[in-house]
Amino acid sequence: MNAGKAAQIRNVTKSYQTRAGTVVALDAVELDIRANDYIAIMGPSGSGKSTLLNVLGGIDRPTAGEVHVDGERIDTLSERKLLDIRRRKVGFVFQEARLMLSLTAIENVMLPTAFTRQDRADARDRAQMLLDKVGVGRRADHMVHELSGGEAQRVCIARALAARPAIVLADEPTGNLDHKTRLGIVGLLEDMRNEGSALVIVTHDPEVASRARRRFAMRDGKLVEESPRH
């Protein structure tokens, strides 16, 4: 993989067998993601957007093609090594705030570093810094059920950055939020690139997509880049 690339996808196909026949979710997809890139992907439901993020993040394996993250080919790795890649090099933000209910906000942010050699005190300091950065530092010791929807999503963003990943994948991260909170969350996602991470957002929201540096449309498993923003 070339220097300066957070990730690459080469001729990736992903298909599923159903009772009705073969469903092609990704059809020979090609994508280069540069370090500090900001990409938005739009398309109708069922077009393959979430499947693309899952393949890029090592959650799903492609049926054919190659996937590289931060210089390492991941589609041929064992499940154990894939898990390690996800912990160290990929941050995830979903539409629902997928936090551990039994943990506090700061403990949730520290989760990605739990299986690394990072000193626990250093990990906690970074988690607090990230919570402060996303505006919920004062809620660090609160349980998840004590957080609002917007606060929980901010904790998710902080958690996604905890391990300094090469790439952050956000799947409809603002879908359940009101307009003001939604724009605030998008602003935080944009700011996270100052941490050195590339950002890929899947969204149905044209306002969110319009802020990206590069925009793609996905339909029937094919990915097409639109005119870049100048």
User: CA distances (Å), 210 to each of 58, 81, 129, 175, 201, in order?
Assistant: 27, 36, 29, 16, 11
- Which residues in the chain land under pLDDT 70? 1-3, 227-230
pLDDT at residue 20, rounded to an integer? 85
d(CA 28, CA 65): 8
Supply the pLDDT for residue 32. 95
Please tell us whether the domain made up of 35-60+78-225 is placed in CATH 3.40.50.720. Answer: no
**Of the candidates 92, 96, 49, which has an alpha carbon nearest to the alpha carbon of residue 220?**
49
pLDDT at 138: 96
Neighbours of 22 (CB within 10 A): 9
Write down the pLDDT at residue 1.
43
Q: Rounded to an integer, what is the distance from CA 104 to the centroid of its chain?
A: 22
- Cβ burial of 138 (10 Å; 0-12, 13-18, 19+) is exposed
pLDDT tens digit string along 152-184?
988 998 999 888 899 999 998 877 777 777 788
Distance, CA of 19 to CA of 22 (rounded, Å) = 8
Spatial CA neighbour of 154 closest among 139, 167, 165: 139
Tokens standing for residue 113: 């570093």
Q: Name the residue ranges covered by the structural domains of the chain.
A: 35-60+78-225
What confidence score (pLDDT) does residue 2 get?
Answer: 47
Query: Distances from the Cα of 77 to the Cαs of 16, 102, 141, in angstroms?
Result: 21, 32, 37
Q: How many helices (H) and strands (E) does the chain have?
A: 7, 10
How far, in Å, are 42, 139, 215, 217 from residue 225 at the CA level?
A: 10, 40, 6, 6
Quote the CA–CA distance of 184 and 134 in Å, as a whole number: 9
User: Among 194, 221, 217, 160, which residue's Cα sits nearest to residue 39?
Assistant: 217
Q: What is the pLDDT of residue 185?
A: 79
What is the structure's pLDDT at 196? 82
Q: Under 8 Å CB-to-CB from 188, ≥6 apart: which residues?
A: 134, 135, 154, 157
| φ, ψ for residue 107, nearest 5 deg | -65, -35
pTM of the predicted structure, to 2 decimals: 0.88
Give me the sheet containing 64-69, strands edge to edge.
21-34, 5-18, 64-69, 72-73
pLDDT number for residue 136: 92
pLDDT of res. 105: 96
